[in-house]
Chain A
């Protein structure tokens, strides 16, 4: 039965042109070339260059975004540096003012102290002077009084004999000189 089908097939095959699958049909080569050329022309001229352009635009967009972010970052850093610099400046300024104030206070203290010392010295000196003056006056007063008292005392003891003025004076003078030397010793 298969033979019959085969016979039918060969019978059918006999009436058609025999084909060899490895020999190309030239009409198909023409059709294939033209069709492929058309496809290449349209796609390579209108589609893929636009795709490349879009890819490039996308890359630019992303890189642009990154660049903008970097610029913002740089600006922020700059501002931060500026603020830090200003802060440091303010700090040194404050420190300088504090130091100055401290130095001023020290100066004022020194002035006051010096003035007080001067004043006290002056007061002490004045007191000393006054003391000396009083001492001088007392010594002077005492000197004359001691003379008179001694003379009076001696007169009372030895009577009128020693009433002679000149001798009295000399004796008294000597006595006082003796007193002075004794006191200094």
Chain B
């Protein structure tokens, strides 16, 4: 126990390198990324979601069973409260993608607080970046399909007096086509990164203090209690970030479909 805590404490303060664990295959390699804890978690998330939905929707009934009801509630929540609310009646056709996006982010985020797993793939920017790019391509594609090539004018020209347009158009271009994908990806990544970092700080901090001086043991205990408290806070952040990512995607699609500003 003492030895383990020394090992763990040796990594204090936690650094970026704590997010890049040695790979599983080949074992303990530091420059191989194909088969790491992170990629395994992503596949586990995908498998879990697929199994959950297929199992609960194998034999759909008009009067739903409990499992079927759960799957339907999840889809119904994204469909009615995000897709239809944000986009309107035509939002129904985006509901399947939005629900997939929501569950994928939610489950991957959830790994951040599941005991013994406790790191979210979303704390590696590669995964949020992929999702942000999909959203980016999707809302531009939807806009071009709806308005033709004039979509780009439609998207950057606000409904404002001509005099102010030279100022507004660059801002709109910057915010709509440059900032959006980055803000989406970074928001999710940073939240998950910070959450994991917080848990590391409080957990490892406890070990660091108790091994530095036995008199600091009560503070170490307090630090670990706070770790549990932060886990609950993280749960909120996890759900919120999954929701925010989905809502923003829906909102961008809505902006592309809108007839005018």
Residues on A lying within 8 angstroms of B by beta carbon are 1-2, 5-6, 8-9, 12-13, 15-29, 31-33, 35-36, 38-40, 42-44, 46-55, 57-58, 61
Contact = CB atoms under 8 A, between A and B. Distances in A.
B97 interface: yes
Contacts of B13: 6, 9
A39 B104 contact: yes
Interface in B118-155: 121, 124-127, 129-131, 134
Interface string B186-197: 100100010000
Interface string B94-136: 0111011001100000000000000001001111011100100
B130 A33 contact: yes
Contact of B126 (A8, A15, A24): A24
B235 interface: no
A19 B20 contact: yes
Chain B interface SS verdict (over half): helix
B197 to A, nearest CB: 10
3 interchain residue pairs of minimum CB distance: A28-B126, A24-B126, A48-B96
A48 B99 contact: yes
Contact of A9 (B11, B43, B100): B11
Interface of B: 9-13, 15-17, 19-20, 30-31, 33-34, 38-39, 42-43, 45-46, 49-50, 53-54, 57, 60-62, 64, 71-72, 75, 92, 95-97, 99-100, 103-104, 121, 124-127, 129-131, 134, 186, 189, 193, 208, 212
A129 B60 CA distance: 114
Contacts of B57: 47, 50-51
B126 A2 contact: no
A12 B30 contact: no
B50 A25 contact: no
Given A2-B208, A32-B42, 15 more contacts: A9-B10, A12-B10, A19-B20, A24-B125, A24-B129, A27-B34, A29-B130, A36-B104, A40-B97, A40-B100, A43-B100, A44-B97, A48-B95, A54-B72, A58-B62
A27 B60 contact: no
B100 A19 contact: no
Given A5-B10, A21-B16, A54-B62, A48 B42 contact: no
A16 B30 contact: yes
A12 B31 CA distance: 15
A38 B46 contact: yes
Contacts of A24: 124-126, 129
A57 B39 CA distance: 39
A28 B49 contact: no
12 contacts: A1-B212, A6-B13, A13-B15, A17-B31, A19-B17, A19-B20, A21-B16, A31-B34, A32-B127, A35-B45, A39-B49, A50-B57
A15 B31 CA distance: 11
Among A8, A9, A46, find the residue whose CB has the most chain B CB atoms closer than 10 A.
Answer: A9
A36 B30 contact: no
A47 to B, nearest CB: 4
A51 B17 contact: no
Contact of A25 (B126, B186, B212): B126
Contact of A29 (B62, B129, B208): B129
A55 B92 CA distance: 12
Contacts of A28: 33, 38-39, 121, 124, 126-127
Contact of B42 (A13, A18, A31, A58): A31
B60 A51 contact: yes
Contacts of A57: 62
Contacts of A36: 46, 104, 130-131, 134
Nearest to A58: B62
Contacts of A42: 50, 53-54
B185 to A, nearest CB: 9
